[in-house]
Amino acid sequence: MKKYIITAVLSIFSVISLTAQTKANPQVSKLYENYVAIKTALTSDDADKTSKAAAEFLKTTSTIDSKVISEGNLNAIKKGAATISETKSIVAQREAFLSLSNNMIALTKQFKLSEKPIFVQYCPMADGSWLSNEKQIVNPYYGSKMLSCGSVKSEIK
């Protein structure tokens, strides 16, 4: 009898876990939206706009429960965003965006962040990846200098 109860409880947890992965988490989805705003600002070569977008990203991180994203992962994400927010150098912002993007890509693989596919894109010149809502390459690492440099590496559904 105990074996059946344990099996039933484990089955319920499996269903709950599966449901959580197929439905976007609103807190983490907002974080992704803020990330896209940072990426978009970088593509337009606008350091001030990028800094403001990163400040919004940081505000969103403060609303995320550590039960949703571990404190260690949240701190890693905050670090990159804080660097972007605090500097007015587009070059330094782009360097910090490398780390932020790597952390966000890992988060995207862990959580469903959007109802639509998210594309992992890569720029060989910057040796860096980023996330995008669309297949079209709009490179945040070089902006107007090399806006279409890169390729889609994968699609996260």
The three-state secondary structure class of 127 is: coil
* Residue 9, pLDDT score: 37
Q: pLDDT band at 27, cuts 50/70/90?
A: confident
Question: Residue 48 belongs to what domain range?
Answer: 24-156
| pLDDT tier, 23 (very low <50, low <70, confident <90, very high otherwise) | low
Contact 154, 120 (CB under 8 A): yes
Mean pLDDT of 16-35: 69
Say what the pLDDT of residue 19 is: 35
Q: Tell me, yes or no, whether 16 lies in a domain.
A: no
**Phi and psi at residue 143, to the nearest 5°:** 55, -135
Q: Is residue 74 part of a domain?
A: yes
In a domain, 45, yes or no: yes
Greatest CA span in the chain, whole angstroms?
68
The total number of structural domains in the chain stands at 1
**Could you count the other beta carbons within 10 Å of the beta carbon of residue 138?**
18
Query: Can you tell me the distance from the alpha carbon of 9 to that of 120, in angstroms, rounded to the nearest whole number?
Result: 36
18 belongs to a structural domain: no
**Encoded tokens for 42:** 């970088």
pLDDT of residue 112: 82
Residue 4, in any domain of the structure: no
- Tokens standing for 101? 């993007």
The span from the CA of 78 to the CA of 84, in Å, is 10
How large a percentage of the chain has pLDDT more than 70? 85
The pTM of this model reads 0.83
Q: Is 8 a member of any domain? A: no
Q: Is residue 114 domain-resident? A: yes
Mean pLDDT in residue range 150-154: 96
29 within some domain: yes
